[in-house]
Chains A and B, each alone.
Chain A
Amino acid sequence: MVKALASARRHRFAPVVLMLFALLAVGGIYAVAAPQAAVADSASQDDVTEGEKLFQANCASCHGPSAEGRTDVAPSLIGVGAASVHFQVSTGRMPMAANAPQAPEKGVQFSTEQTAQLAAYVASLAPGPAIPDGEQVDPALGDAANGMLVFRTNCAMCHNAVGAGGALSEGKYAPSLFNSTPTEIYEAMLTGPQSMPVFNDENITPEAKRDVIAYLMEQRADDSSPGGANLGAIGPVSEGMWVWIIGMGALIGASVWIGAKSS
């Protein structure tokens, strides 16, 4: 046996067999040690089945019967993960009401349970980013100052310095973040919906994502605008408009009052 092995060492197929073993070993180690992306924690087979029914009834007309997408109509959803589905559906962006430059946020179409079922179905098609858990998005655990630095380097050019939103080309826009939940903010960074780039965990670490959430939540604290009404937080344009309307308006009114007497 040993002798047979020893003689086989020099067999001309030996390198191929060795290579196969090596590949198996690397693949095996990767399968165990690779970072666990994906899979909504408590998704049962029932959820997947229900989700598939909902998908066929509400999404398949654009995204295709097996979520493979249709050219120039809708993207493939294979591998987008539960986070993406949860973001798009729970903010009302999907199903899309009309073909527009960008899917607007609107009334939510599905219950929380249905949304989770849809997410479970899409996540079952291929691994993708999972919905973040409570701790990952807890603003109390984040550092708002670091969040400010991350936000203004990566996000402010589209979303404005405090997340009031801004314009993109051809009718697209970066929406205001004032009403987004921490989970939605995290999912948006993770999945890059619509025109937004994906900020994966290498790019902005999960901790930094939480810092960004802390910074954004800081903007809607009761004392976030110590100077008074923030006028939409969109900067000098609204300030200029109000100095004409309120300032000049009131003072021209006063001038008319003072100058009205006689002649």
Chain B
Amino acid sequence: MSTTTPLAKAAGGTADFFDTRVGAGKMVKEFARKVFPDHWSFLLGEIALYSFVVLLLTGTFLTMFFVPSMTEVHYPEDALPVAMRGVEMSEAFASTLNMSFHVRGGLLMRQIHHWAALLFMASIVTHMMRVFFTGAFRKPRELNWVVGFTILILGLAAGFTGYSLPDDVLSGNGLRITDGVVKSIPVIGSYMSFMIFGGEFPGTEIIPRLFTAHILLVPALILALIAVHLVLIVVHKHTQYPGPGRSNRNVVGYPLFPVYVAKAGGFFFVVFGVLAIMGATLAINSVWAYGPYDPSPVGAGAQPDWYMLFLEGSLRLMPGQPEFVIAGYTISLNVLIPAVVIPGLLFTALAAYPFLEAWVTGDKREHHVLDRPRNVPTRTGVGVAILTAFIILVLAGSNDILATHFNLSINSITWVFRFLFFAGPVIAFIVTKRLCLALQRRDRELVLHGHETGRVVRFASGEYIEVHQPLTDHERWLLVGHEPVRPLEIGPGENERGVARPAYKKAVRRSKLSNFFFADRVEPVTPSELAASHGHGEHEEIESAESNEGLLTNASTRG
């Protein structure tokens, strides 16, 4: 135990230097002891964080070779690729080709950057699904949900601005659609388009403008919001899945240092490694296949990156008729509705959901223990319905690829999706909710009966029974730990003197919504039910079958 080696002295001295100047001791104590619960789904957000770090690293490399200019040049006759020799193009496109073919590691960096962008959005969406389905957005984390949601939107902005930079035909088509969408906004549309493009589309200014947004504005905002997101995680402490010994007042897990520093630090390299392998082996956005931007050509299979595909699908599904000319002004509802209104509704619903649910439940308590998705059937159903709408739009945006790869008629696909866009979410909601309720009933069954063992015993009286093995305390905790949520009850509309209650109508609306959420439910087994089922011994099967039936009818009357 010699603490006076030169090394220890130096370390102690350095630590003391920082502690006395910036309060390092307090920070280390606070952060290093932060407890992180173990669950794979808590790492989804980290995938997003690490792909963002990879984006910053590779993006910095790319800025050194990219020329954000729309000045026209001719690609050199002795440069690669062969199909671009002598072709007229913008400097942006030429520099993209040059960094892909003539800068050592340039193509690898471009591909890692693009894959990381796709992965960034994919992991954000997956992380968001986890947070949604487990109810992690409940008080006190509603604002952090909004922060995360804003990062999602900024991620779309980052992807969109970066995707357009190489100035190729495909991304130019995307810009042209953007131009059309902006112009579809009534009254201010054409002015906004001129403002964005610095004149008539495409102009000569859009690439430098997108460049500034892509490398400065959007990433700075994302970085700032990531900082807020992470600080709020520390402030709120981490959520945890339900389990024995876990409550809303504690966090069970490992400290950040050393366990999670190692795990999370290692995970960064796993993410970077996967991205590097993808960048090295899978071609992405080979812009020389599309050629330099020219407003006239469009290639078959012209789609945006996956996270924008729902917008493309929305546009492809919309029938073209609702375009009107009123007093010389064109109102393009055929663009406005699918490209502005529908995504607007989807995103607003997503951002506002925590507040909506809090209002419906009237629950003002803090929640740090997560829900099992089956225990909140309506929320899970709503989530799956939103996802279904999104997936249908994504598939609709890929309708030509579906047509060629599955030998289908593109017209039939489009019509099927037009109906499915409305019917699919409803069906998905009903099916998911029913599945959740069924799973809850199975949980009840399991708690009351225990596991089937397959061991059949014959009594002296000649009666046969199957032996059931009771659940362990740990298993049972998981299945009965959640609290039942019942619909809000409202009193009469008038008080005893016949005077109308203020805000009664609002209460009725709220109660209706609360009924929608919680009328169908399977309540967890109560201790008395459990005791009763155990007390009845061999008659337990009959007993619980009856009580289950009662619940079934209760639920199905609302069907």
Contact = CB atoms under 8 A, between A and B. Distances in A.
B204 interface: no
B320 interface: no
- Taking residues whose C-beta sits less than 8 angstroms from the other chain, chain A's interface range is 35 or more
B274 A250 contact: yes
Given A153-B297, A157-B299, A233 B86 contact: no
A248 B47 CA distance: 9
Interface stretch (A64-72, A190-198, A238-246): A238-246
Contact of A263 (B38, B111, B407): B38
Interface in B279-326: 280-286, 289-291, 294, 296-307, 309
The 8 closest A-B pairs by CB, nearest first: A166-B300, A240-B306, A227-B283, A259-B40, A167-B403, A171-B409, A167-B400, A161-B299
B263 interface: yes
Contacts of A246: 274, 278, 282
A53 interface: no
B300 A227 contact: no
Interface in A206-263: 215, 218-219, 225-231, 233-244, 246-248, 250-252, 254-263
Contacts of B284: 227, 231, 239
A237 B309 contact: yes
B271 A251 contact: yes
A157 to B, nearest CB: 5
Interface in B61-100: 81-87, 100
Interface in B452-509: none
B82 A218 contact: yes
Given A167-B410, A258-B40, 18 more contacts: A147-B83, A156-B299, A156-B300, A158-B300, A166-B404, A170-B410, A173-B403, A227-B111, A233-B286, A237-B306, A239-B284, A243-B119, A244-B306, A246-B278, A257-B40, A258-B270, A263-B38, A263-B252
A174 interface: yes
Decide if the interface of chain B is mainly helix, strand, loop or mixed. helix
- Taking residues whose C-beta sits less than 8 angstroms from the other chain, chain B's interface range is 35 or more
Given A243-B122, A247-B118, A258 B83 contact: no
Contacts of B100: 226-227
B430 interface: no
B41 interface: yes
B275 interface: yes
Interface of A: 101, 144-145, 147-149, 152-153, 156-162, 164-171, 173-174, 215, 218-219, 225-231, 233-244, 246-248, 250-252, 254-263
B78 to A, nearest CB: 12
B401 interface: yes
B122 A152 contact: no
Contact of B399 (A156, A167, A247, A256): A167
Nearest to A251: B47
B43 A258 contact: yes
A33 B114 CA distance: 58
Interface in B391-412: 397-401, 403-404, 407-412
B267 A247 contact: no
Contact of B289 (A161, A168, A258): A161
A94 to B, nearest CB: 19
B210 interface: no
B18 interface: no
Contact of B283 (A156, A225, A252, A262): A225
Interface in B510-529: none
Contacts of B275: 247
Nearest to B108: A227
Contacts of B409: 101, 169-171
B39 A164 contact: no
A144 B83 contact: yes
A144 B397 CA distance: 31
B300 A174 contact: yes
A252 B118 CA distance: 15
A255 B122 contact: no
Contacts of B170: 161, 235-236
Nearest to A159: B300
B194 interface: no
B473 to A, nearest CB: 15
Contacts of B169: 152, 161
B16 to A, nearest CB: 35
A148 B404 CA distance: 23
Contact of B118 (A166, A225, A243): A243
